[in-house]
Amino acid sequence: MKKSTPAMPLLVALALSGVAHASAISQTKGHFEDKFRQLDETLPTPNIYRSAAGEPGERYWQQKVDYDIDVNLDEKAKRLTATQTIHYKNNSPHTLKYLWLQLDQNIFKNDSIAERTATFGNELQSNPVTKHAKISLNQLRRQQFMDDTELGFIINNVKDGRGKPLKVTIVDTMMRVDLNEPLKSGKDLQFSMDFAFNIVEEDAVGARSGYEHFEKDGNDIFLLAQWFPRLTAYTDYEAWTNKAFLGSGEFTLEFGDYDVEITVPADHIVSATGELDNPKQVLSKTQRDRLAQAKTAKRPVFVVTEEEALENEKAGTDDTKTWRFKAKNVRDFAWASSRKFMWDAKGYQQGGDEQPLVMAMSFYPKEGGDLWKKYSTEAVIHTMEVYSRFSFDYPYPTAQSVNGPVGGMEYPMITFNGPRTKLQDDGSRTYSLAEKRFLIGVVIHEVGHIYFPMIVNSDERQWTWMDEGLNSFLDGVAGREWDPTIPWGVEPRDVAAYMKSEDQSPIMTQSDSVLHLGPNAYTKPAAALNILREVILGRELFDFAFKEYALRWKYKRPTPADFFRTMEEASGVDLDWFWRGWFYSTDHVDISLDKIYQLRLDTKNPDIDFGRLREFEKNKPMSLFVKRNQEQGRALW
């Protein structure tokens, strides 16, 4: 007992010392959270695949998947039937016993996870809680269509390269293909299948693709995307990225080469990912000559004129034509088909060694009218001019804008865009300022997506902001170089109300769990990058670092950590505090009272009120971005 006694004061002293130390921290920090602590404990540890600098590591790898597809469109039945052969190269260091494919059309099955559940975003945005149970006419129409139509993929004859059957297991919107022999690292294999599905009516169901029927002339526009079983990405950071498709989270895919033959009614015009490989079989000599003329034209040239499109609308035929498209090093394939399409084109002479000439093209029905004739193809070219400054030369031979029922979606070399003109009583067509702005904005945004994520190939299902947020920032840059008076939604004021609300989730939230997809994945990251460029780093440092990110990850698959690390490494500025505050938390920016405004009642007399509004617009403070563009002498489109 005596020998242990001296130790007691020491233990007490140590304990008291610990309390004092904790107390000192408490006194210094209180409940303060260090906003400037480093992100090291949050970001994944660098490795041989992804370096600490944010660039691909010395052993970075990704798979390669090539597709050879023959597809037939049955216009009357609104149905696709196809056969495809897939060539899969295993560049990973792992042996694979099975492959996972995406069956995106299965989202429309009545027993799909998407139909039986609701994501946070969809629940809040589409189905607000009300006091009384009710259903809209649109919901009734959707339910009726889905009850009347058998939807989802029908898959048959899945065989390996030797013709032996392969076992398949379908799990909602995913399909596992069990290999007859394990696929070792560095080896490749080939397998094939037949598939078919009934195409959804987009106006009835609401989808990223589908058909639109025109009652007045009896014709249709088909926008086909997510239309073939596609390999799910196999990655170094997650292995198989086989999360079910629920609607919000888009697609994680592999690069490859495509050879696609599309059989459609003979009077249809087809737009697709890739380059038309058999123009002599599907276009007249006059149309081929017009397409050649368009390469050097100053304004878009009509390959298919409005008069020819109107003539096509009157007829209809049981004959078919097969259009063949080839595309190299793309991560997806989409196409559109209709006898209603007129087609204009203009060559974009961008120079450089990789793709000196790009054919910018638009496909649209008479309902597109002068709105599309004036702005669509020109907006495609403007997008490439601006985005290439911030990344790399556009690397593909075509960039297309197609009008149809889908408001806005993007795929390699082709985009779907929705705005149209309105038919007047006298037979003419007109459009509002809002529709003009919508068309220019959506074309810039969707064509911009060909850069991010169709080339800088981020994981859309996991991190929506990496494609939508980065692209919204850049479409704001391109948009304000077109017309700075259009509200592009990338200024800090556009996100202040959202950031002060309690109904948020951090930007770094998986896409199907985001509470409000629009402000969270588009506006907030775009505003953050706008502030980072104009206020924190300055244009020179930001533009250099952003371009470095794009070049490092061209045709590769970056993660958020790769973006964060590259921006810091290339700019030479510690930005951990910025990423933490904007992307990992729901903290709002400090708001201060800057001005007090005197309010006045409108007179409801447009001659008076519109004059006041114009005077206000003329004298209101100019955004820093627009001011700097003017100082640099940057010309508007």
Q: Which domains does the chain carry?
A: 62-254 (2.60.40.290), 274-446 (no CATH), 465-595 (1.10.390.10)
Question: Would the pLDDT of 222 be above 80?
Answer: yes
Whole-number Cα distances in Å, 541 to 131, 503, 544, 582: 53, 34, 5, 19
Question: Would the pLDDT of 26 be above 60?
Answer: no
- The structure's pTM equals 0.90
* Pick from 187, 224, 206, 4: nearest CA to 91: 187
What would the mean pLDDT of 238-252 be, rounded to a whole number? 93
- What is the maximal distance between C-alpha atoms in the chain? 111
Given pLDDT bands bounded at 50, 70 and 90, which one contains residue 30?
A: low
Which tops the pLDDT comparison, 417 or 37? 417
Q: Which pLDDT does position 22 carry in this prediction?
A: 45
Question: How far does Cα 535 stand from its chain's mean position?
Answer: 27
Q: Model confidence over 529-545: pLDDT tens digits?
A: 999 999 999 999 999 99
The Cα 259–Cα 255 span in angstroms is: 13
Q: Which pLDDT does position 306 carry in this prediction?
A: 96
Answer whether 525's CB lies under 8 Å from 470's CB: yes
> 200-209, 408-417, 490-499: lowest mean pLDDT where?
490-499
Which residues touch 154 (CB under 8 Å, ≥6 apart)? 195, 196, 197
Q: Which pLDDT does position 325 carry in this prediction?
A: 98
Please give the mean pLDDT across all residues of the chain. 91
